[in-house]
């Protein structure tokens, strides 16, 4: 795309996304690992990562006992279809290694929680909306929209080798390559490890909620999160490089 011409994230075309991705891919080099933009041919592999690792292992999903249902699958698929999400695939076997999913967040947008049938998913979203509200991202940055970092996952056997950090960086780079004059990323870290990454990569901490303090109707629904004690909300202003 021509630099600095886009005024809204929502106006990015499929071609803009492909071009920004190609620029990111050119700079990417991990032997044996392929960086892909999640498009139609990769939906299934991305959903596999979601079903096998993100749903069972992410601290909030775990605490609420989230199950992978058809509703969950459609929930994730709608975001993948934006073609803003990245995945690492083993070059030799084609096995999915990691994803960093991204969608678009807008000021004032509302999701009717009653439309969510899966109880645990509804309660997780209720918690996230509560934190979003407290964090006040849009007022803090004086913006009406942002790229929103959703799920980050690495399949178990590839963890603790820097893959999450690398795919996180690639996702920020891809956003940089859209060439906006001014654009922001909104994100949340629910695990100690993802929080480390956000902070290492220079994201600002806007808000922190401790899981065991979160109260709904006199109950404290987020328990047993082990070493992961809080969720932090982050923001980042993307600047033109840096490398």
Ligand X SMILES: CC(C)(COP(=O)(O)OP(=O)(O)OC[C@H]1O[C@@H](n2cnc3c(N)ncnc32)[C@H](O)[C@@H]1OP(=O)(O)O)[C@@H](O)C(=O)NCCC(=O)NCCS
Work out how close the CB of 189 gets to ligand X at its nearest, in angstroms, rounded to a whole number. Answer: 5
- Residue 57 engages ligand X in binding (rule: CB under 6 A): yes
Strands annotated E in 84-218 = 86-90, 96-106, 145-154, 183-189, 204-210
Rg (the chain; Cα; Å): 17
Q: Tokens in use for 191? A: 């695990």
Selected binder of ligand X within 200, 202, 210, 224 (CB under 6 A): 200
- Residue 131 engages ligand X in binding (rule: CB under 6 A): no
Q: Which is nearer to ligand X, 12 or 150 (CB)?
A: 150
- Residue 230 engages ligand X in binding (rule: CB under 6 A): no
Work out how close the CB of 33 gets to ligand X at its nearest, in angstroms, rounded to a whole number. Answer: 12
Selected binder of ligand X within 9, 50, 164, 185 (CB under 6 A): 164
Q: Which is nearer to ligand X, 88 or 178 (CB)?
A: 88
- Residue 53 engages ligand X in binding (rule: CB under 6 A): yes
Work out how close the CB of 92 gets to ligand X at its nearest, in angstroms, rounded to a whole number. Answer: 19
Q: Sheet containing 145-154: give its strands across.
A: 33-37, 86-90, 96-106, 145-154, 183-189, 230-238, 204-210
- Residue 69 engages ligand X in binding (rule: CB under 6 A): no
- Residue 193 engages ligand X in binding (rule: CB under 6 A): yes
Number of residues that bind ligand X (CB under 6 A): 23
- Residue 163 engages ligand X in binding (rule: CB under 6 A): yes
Q: Which is nearer to ligand X, 117 or 161 (CB)?
A: 161
Selected binder of ligand X within 165, 204, 205, 208 (CB under 6 A): 165
At residue 229, the 3 state secondary structure works out as: coil
- Is the Cβ–Cβ distance between 206 and 234 less than 8 Å? yes
Q: Name the residue among 198, 180, 179 with its Cα closest to residue 189.
A: 198
- Residue 161 engages ligand X in binding (rule: CB under 6 A): yes
CA distances from 90 to 33, 39, 56, 57, 170 (A): 5, 17, 22, 21, 16
- Residue 103 engages ligand X in binding (rule: CB under 6 A): no
Residue for token pair 């249902």: 69
Which residues, 6+ apart, have CB-to-CB distance to 136 below 8 Å?
206, 207
| Footprint on this chain of ligand X (rule: CB under 6 A) | 53-54, 57-59, 152-154, 159-165, 189-191, 193-194, 196-197, 200
């Amino acid at each position: 795309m021509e630099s600095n011409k886009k005024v809204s994230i929502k106006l990015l075309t499929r071609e803009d996304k492909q071009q920004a991705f190609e620029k990111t891919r050119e700079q990417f080099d991990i032997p044996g690992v392929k960086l892909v933009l999640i498009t139609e041919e990769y939906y299934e592999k991305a959903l596999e990562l979601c079903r096998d690792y993100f749903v069972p292992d992410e601290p909030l999903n775990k605490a609420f006992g989230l199950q992978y249902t058809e509703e969950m699958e459609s929930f994730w698929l709608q975001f993948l279809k934006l073609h803003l999400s990245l995945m690492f695939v083993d070059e030799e076997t084609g096995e999915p290694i990691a994803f960093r999913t991204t969608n678009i967040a807008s000021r004032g947008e509302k999701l009717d929680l009653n439309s969510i049938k899966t109880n645990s998913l509804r309660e997780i979203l209720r918690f996230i909306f509560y934190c979003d509200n407290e964090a006040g991202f849009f007022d803090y940055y004086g913006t009406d929209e942002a790229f929103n970092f959703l799920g980050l996952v690495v399949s178990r056997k590839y963890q603790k080798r820097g893959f999450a950090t690398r795919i996180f960086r690639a996702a920020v780079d891809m956003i940089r390559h859209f060439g906006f004059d001014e654009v922001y990323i909104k994100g949340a870290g629910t695990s100690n490890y993802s929080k480390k990454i956000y902070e290492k990569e220079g994201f600002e901490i806007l808000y922190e909620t401790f899981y065991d303090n979160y109260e709904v109707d006199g109950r404290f629904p987020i328990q047993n999160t082990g070493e992961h004690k809080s969720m932090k909300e982050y923001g980042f202003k993307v600047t033109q490089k840096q490398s």
